[in-house]
Amino acid sequence: MPGPNHAHLAVLKLSDPAVAAARRTLLEGGRLTQEEGVRLFDSPVLELGRLADACARDRHGDRVYFTVNRQLNPTNVCVLSCRFCDYAKKPGAPDAYTMTKEQILAHVDPEIHEIHIVGGLHDKWRFDDYLDVIRWVKERKPGLQVKAYTAVEVDFFCRLTKKPAEWVLEELRKAGLDALPGGGAEVFSERVRRELFHQKIGGHRWLEIHEIAHRMGIPSNATLLYGHIETRAERVQHMILLRELEDRAPGFLAFIPLAFQPGATGIVRRQASAIEDLKTIALSRLVFDNVPHVKSYWVMLGQDTASVALNFGASDLDGTIGQEKIAHAALARSPVGMAEEAMVQAIREAGKIPVQRDALYHVVRTYDAGGAADGGATAATAGAAPGAGAR
Ligand code: SF4
C-alpha cells in the first residue's frame, strides 16, 4: 500500500538506472521484490538516499519524531548464551545484577513519556516478577506508556507458565503494557540462528508472537540486527517477511535497523560502515510501504550517522534513553543518554522539524524549524503516524 501521497516522489529526478526503476515501481503503487532490494544495495548511496528521503517526506513532510524516555534493563542474568551478546551474564557471575524495586523505580523520571523495558531471562524470576516491574512503574506514574519485553521474553514467559502467548500478553496488558518493543528478531535466517543464537526462538516464533499481539490490538516495533554474518539477501528477506506480517495483521509502529556492535564477541572485527548503515536505512524505507516509521537508532549508529540518516529515509531518532546498558556492554561508542536539547539539535542539523512524541506516536510537542519550542504541547493524535493512534 502506497504512502499518503507521492508529491515528492513524482518530481524526483534520478540518474542511477536501478534507483530510477525503483522510483517508477513505487510511484505506480508497486512493491520492491527481494531481488530488487538486493540489487539496490549496489546503487550509489546518495541516489538511494534521495529516493528514500522523498518517500519519507511524502509520509511525514519534514517532521522527525523522538521521545523523552528511559530504558530500563532490570537484570542482565540470562539462561541463554547468544554468541553476539555481550550483555547477558550467568547467574552468580561477578558482574551479574538484578535491580531492586527502588532501583527500578529510580528510572521513572517525572518528565518521561515512555519506558522501554527489556532484559535477560532470569533463572530465578517467575512471570509475576516480570509483571511486577510493569505494575510498579505504572503505579509510580499511571500515565507513563510502557513498552516492554521482546518476543523472546514473551516466549520465555509462555514456557515458565505453560500458557499460550495470548494469555501471557493479556496478563502483561492487564499489568499495564502498552506496546511490545521490536528486539529479539535479529535476522530471520535459520543459517544465522544456528550459528549465533541457536538456543533462542527463530523467525517463525517471533513473527507468530507479534502477529498475536497485533491481532489483540497491542502495537509493536520490529528490528533487524545487521552487520555480522548475515548476507544482504537475508537482510532484505527479513524485511519482506515483516512487510507480509504487517499486511496480515497491522500493528508495527516502526522498523529499526540495529547496527551490530562487535564488542568482545569476536564475530566480526568492526562495525558496518556508515555507507552500509545509510543504505540499510534507505532500503528499509523503500521496502516498507506499510510501516509508518523507519528509526535511526542513534545508540548503535552513533549520533553523527544517526543524524545523517534522517535524510536517508528515517523519520524517528528514538529517545533520550537515560542509561542504556545493552549496546554499551558491547562497547557502543555513543553516549549512554542524550538530552532532549541534543535530540532537537541533531534533528535540526539534518534540516528537519523535531516533533516530540509518546510511545504510540501521539504528538507531545512540535518545535519550530530553527528556534525554541512552539509551546504547543498538544498531546493529541494530530500529526501522528497514519493509523498509529488507533493501534
Ligand atoms: S541476546 Fe537476550 S536472550 Fe540472548 S543471551 Fe543476550 S539477553 Fe539472553
- pLDDT score, position 383: 31
Q: Does residue 78 have its Cβ closer than 6 Å to ligand 1?
A: yes
Atom of ligand 1 nearest to the CA of 119: 7
| Average confidence (pLDDT) per 10 residues, the chain, 391 residues | 75 96 96 96 97 97 95 95 90 94 94 95 97 98 96 98 98 98 96 93 97 98 96 97 98 96 85 95 98 94 93 96 69 69 92 96 86 42 30 24
Q: Which residues pair with 233 in a beta bridge?
A: none
* Backbone phi and psi for residue 364, each to the nearest 5 degrees, phi listed first: -95, -45
Could you tell me where the DSSP H helices lie in 141-202?
A: 151-161, 165-175, 190-196
- pLDDT score, position 61: 96
- pLDDT score, position 390: 26
Joined grid coordinates for residue 257 = 535497523
Q: Does residue 260 have its Cβ closer than 6 Å to ligand 1?
A: no
148 vs 135: CA distance, rounded Å: 12
Distance 117 CA to ligand 1 centre (A): 14
- pLDDT score, position 382: 30
Atom of ligand 1 nearest to the CA of 200: 3
Distance 315 CA to ligand 1 centre (A): 28
**Of 73, 79, 80, which is best to mutate to test ligand 1, by the most ligand atoms within 8 angstroms of its C-beta?**
80
**Of 76, 77, 82, which is best to mutate to test ligand 1, by the most ligand atoms within 8 angstroms of its C-beta?**
82
The whole model's pTM is what? 0.91
CA 192, chain centre distance (Å): 20
Q: Does residue 120 have its Cβ closer than 6 Å to ligand 1?
A: yes
- pLDDT score, position 326: 67
Atom of ligand 1 nearest to the CA of 197: 4
Atom of ligand 1 nearest to the CA of 79: 8
Q: Using DSSP bridges, classify how beta strands 353-357 and 363-366 pair: parallel, antiparallel or unpaired.
A: antiparallel
Distance 153 CA to ligand 1 centre (A): 9
Alpha-carbon distance values, 378 to 78, 357, 381, 383 (Å): 41, 10, 8, 10
Distance 380 CA to ligand 1 centre (A): 36
Cβ atoms within 10 A of the Cβ of 198, count? Answer: 14
Q: Does residue 200 have its Cβ closer than 6 Å to ligand 1?
A: yes
In which order are the strands placed within the sheet that holds 177-179? 69-72, 114-117, 145-148, 177-179
Cα–Cα nearest to 207, from 151, 147, 291:
151
Atom of ligand 1 nearest to the CA of 78: 8
Cβ atoms within 10 A of the Cβ of 24, count? Answer: 11
Domains along the chain?
Answer: 7-59 (no CATH), 66-358 (3.20.20.70)
Distance 120 CA to ligand 1 centre (A): 6
144 vs 176: CA distance, rounded Å: 9
Atom of ligand 1 nearest to the CA of 120: 7
Distance 84 CA to ligand 1 centre (A): 9
Atom of ligand 1 nearest to the CA of 81: 5
Q: How far apart are the first and last CA of the chain?
A: 18
169 vs 177: CA distance, rounded Å: 8
Distance 374 CA to ligand 1 centre (A): 42
Q: At what angle do helices 274-287 and 45-60 cross, to 10 degrees?
A: 40
C-beta of residue 321 within 8 angstroms of C-beta of residue 70: yes
Distance 385 CA to ligand 1 centre (A): 31
190 vs 192: CA distance, rounded Å: 5
For cell 491481532, what's the residue? 215
Atom of ligand 1 nearest to the CA of 76: 7
- pLDDT score, position 371: 52
Per DSSP, the chain holds a count of helices (H) and strands (E) of 16, 11
Q: Does residue 88 have its Cβ closer than 6 Å to ligand 1?
A: yes
Ramachandran sector of residue 375 (left: φ over 0; alpha: ψ -120 to 50; beta: rest): left
